Amino acid sequence: MSLHPQCAFFLAEAAKENLPPMPELGPHGARLIGHTPREFSGPLRDDVKISTRFITTPTADVVANIYQPPGTGPFNGMAYFHGGGWAFNYINKYDAQLQDLAARTNSVIVSINYQKAPEHKYPIPFDDCYTAFVWLHEHAAEFNVDTNKIGIGGDSAGGNLASGVAHKARDVNQHPLAYQMLIYPCNGLDFETKSYLDNADDYGLTRSNMQWLWELYLNGSQDFNDPYAVPLNATNFEGLAPAILFTAEYDVLHDDGVLYAKKLSDAGVPVIYKDYPGMIHGFFNYGSVIDEGIAARTFLVDSINQILRG
- Provide the CA 66 distance to its chain's centre, in angstroms: 16
User: How many C-beta atoms lie closer than 10 Å to residue 169's C-beta?
Assistant: 22
79, 136 contact by CB (below 8 A): yes
Exposure string of 120-129, with b = 16+ CB inside 10 Å and e = fewer, is bbbbbbbbbb
Q: Which of 72, 83, 76 is nearest to 105 (CA)?
A: 76
Report which secondary-structure segment, H or E, holds 38.
none
Task: Give the active site residues.
Answer: 156, 251, 281
Is residue 181 classed exposed, middle or buried when 0-12, 13-18 and 19+ CB atoms within 10 A define those classes?
buried
- What is the Cα–Cα distance from 284 to 80, expressed in whole angstroms? 14
